[in-house]
Amino acid sequence: MQKKIIWQRWEEPADSDHNDHEDDDFDTEDNEHGKPYPVIRTEYGHFVSVKIHAPLKNDLKLWVGNSNFDIGHKEKAIIEDVDGVEILDIFSAYKFRVGIGLAFDDKTVQKRIEKLLCEKYDNVFLTKQQSIDIKKHRIDLKAKELPWILYILPNGKYESISCENIDEYDKLVDQYIEVKKCLGGKLMLGYK
């Protein structure tokens, strides 16, 4: 089965803006401080309602991802690691919501998530020192504030590239995805 993700723009529940608590789909529960907070029942489950004021509401870019594979702890970590993802909510084994930062292109972030989750993934076994070295290198790449690629081979060796030209970057991403399909390993992408 070919893994895939189908994207839908998040539709705010119709009753999320009202101020009273009398609606049938609107309950309250106590938080850890004993104070009630509103809970909305939606087709995706129960959610704490945070009233978003009109100016801020327009700044949120929320998308629902519908997958044909399980979204577990590993997939959650991969999504959270994609540059541009500000919010991540897992609704079910096959459905999740991401909030994409205003400075990021929605389609580019979605494409990165799809490539990292839907392409064949082979485990990389690293020594503790290799893991520390790769984390340090990744921090250095992020500090450059340029789009970057970090490819880790199954044996723990790695290589990286950062570039200013977005078209060149996209071509390199596609090339590294093909290499990963053949050799396995892990591909990490950073896009500013």
Instruction: Give mean pLDDT, residues 147-175.
Output: 88
Residue 24 shares a structural domain with residue 98: yes
Domain count for the chain = 2
Q: Is 114 within a domain?
A: no
According to the model, what pLDDT value does residue 53 have? 43
Final residue belonging to a domain, choices 71, 104, 137: 104
Residue 14 shares a structural domain with residue 99: yes
Residue 37 shares a structural domain with residue 100: yes
Residue 9 shares a structural domain with residue 100: yes
Tens-digit pLDDT profile for residues 34-89? 545 455 555 555 555 444 444 455 567 899 999 999 998 888 888 988 888 988 98
Q: Is 117 within a domain?
A: no
Residue 99 shares a structural domain with residue 14: yes
Q: Is 118 within a domain?
A: no
Residue 92 shares a structural domain with residue 148: no
Average pLDDT over the chain, rounded to an integer: 77
Residue 153 shares a structural domain with residue 185: yes
In which domain, by residue range, is 11 found? Answer: 5-104
Final residue belonging to a domain, choices 55, 89, 104: 104
Instruction: Give mean pLDDT, residues 163-168.
Output: 88
According to the model, what pLDDT value does residue 93 have? 92
Tens-digit pLDDT profile for residues 87-110? 898 999 999 999 998 889 999 999
Residue 78 shares a structural domain with residue 137: no
According to the model, what pLDDT value does residue 44 have? 56
According to the model, what pLDDT value does residue 145 have? 86
Whether the predicted model's global pTM rises above the 0.75 cut: no
Tokens 């590294």 -> residue: 176
According to the model, what pLDDT value does residue 58 have? 59
Q: Is 121 within a domain?
A: no
Q: Is 12 within a domain?
A: yes
DSSP 144: T
Residue 98 shares a structural domain with residue 153: no
Of 143, 70, 61, give the one whose Cα is nearest residue 102.
Answer: 61
Residue 49 shares a structural domain with residue 86: yes
Lowest mean pLDDT among 80-94, 113-127, 157-171: 113-127
| 111 or 19, which is more confident | 111
d(CA 103, CA 113): 17
Residue 19 shares a structural domain with residue 92: yes
In our burial notation (b when 16+ CB lie closer than 10 A, e otherwise), range 133-168 reads: ebeebbeebeeeebbbbbbbbeebebebbbeeeeee
Whether 189 and 148 have beta carbons less than 8 Å apart is answered as yes
Of 135, 168, 171, give the one whose Cα is nearest residue 150.
Answer: 135
Share of the chain above pLDDT 90, in %: 24
Q: Is 157 within a domain?
A: yes
